[in-house]
Chains A and B, each alone.
Chain A
């Protein structure tokens, strides 16, 4: 089974890369972009351990390593 993990900076934490990208988009003439937040995407392949167990383990993985909850938040999607 596969899981997807998205890690992004929390609202309120400055994202200088996102700001620079937003400015570059506007230089390209791509209008209407209000804000850009840059993050990380991880695709994880798991053994068949069941959705509930997988969610628990990935949540622990995020809290202890994959995300730094001082500055980041994470979202876990299982399946697909």
Chain B
């Protein structure tokens, strides 16, 4: 089982993701430079957070044109599990692999804090075994995490079971106060129709060990390993 951690100019959570995968979860992980145009031999892809290309133009706008994104598209079309975290989510949106776009937080402030998430669907490789309604504590760190999509897209996301996480309070209530950035319908993470591509603003790789304040993030990677295990048998 081998996971790819993509590295673009300006990625800065790549080592965190690598650490979580290799040393916490114990799966094989490899950094993949954005100029590579193949992901052959990999079983899962992580697009980590950061500030690719200095967020020039729009977050993720330049990275979507890197050669590796063609490979990510083919990998995703083949049903392979892809998780985009924070800037990785923004790249997936810009690349059109997920619907919608990110705008500046409604507070106009960079938000860096633990938040609570309410799980929406367990049909993705990263949430298998995390039932709907589960509350996870995972940190966010972003300036442009205000998820936007038109009303039709938002309704379609809900109808097709594509809302994976919503910001909530510690009791799991999805409230306006628990929304750290103004995201439409408190959306923190969504998947594609097939369920194999997940984008989320919170950082599970930053909280995969109790010593870091929460180990809830580990559950996503454990789910991925279990999903890949089921698939290969």
**Residues of chain A lying within 8 A (CB to CB) of residue B58:** 68
Contact of A66 among B57, B65, B105 (CB under 8 A): B57
The number of A-B residue pairs with CB atoms under 8 Å apart is 37
* Identity of the chain B residue whose Cβ is nearest the Cβ of A64 in the assembled complex: B65
- Least distance between A15 CB and chain B CB atoms (Å): 8
Report the count of interface residues on B (CB-CB < 8 A). Answer: 20
Contact of B101 among A17, A65, A66, A70 (CB under 8 A): A70
**Residues of chain B lying within 8 A (CB to CB) of residue A13:** 103, 148
**Residues of chain B lying within 8 A (CB to CB) of residue A9:** 103
Are B61 and A17 interface neighbours, CB within 8 A? no
User: Which residue, of A9, A13, A70, has the highest number of chain B Cβ atoms within 10 A?
Assistant: A70
Contact of B57 among A14, A20, A65, A71 (CB under 8 A): A65
Contact of B104 among A17, A66, A68, A70 (CB under 8 A): A17
Residues of A within 8 A of B (CB): 9, 13-14, 16-17, 20, 40, 65-66, 68, 70-71
Beyond contacts A14-B146, A70-B100: 10 other A-B pairs, Cβ-Cβ < 8 A, are A14-B182, A16-B104, A16-B105, A16-B106, A17-B108, A65-B65, A70-B99, A70-B101, A70-B148, A71-B148
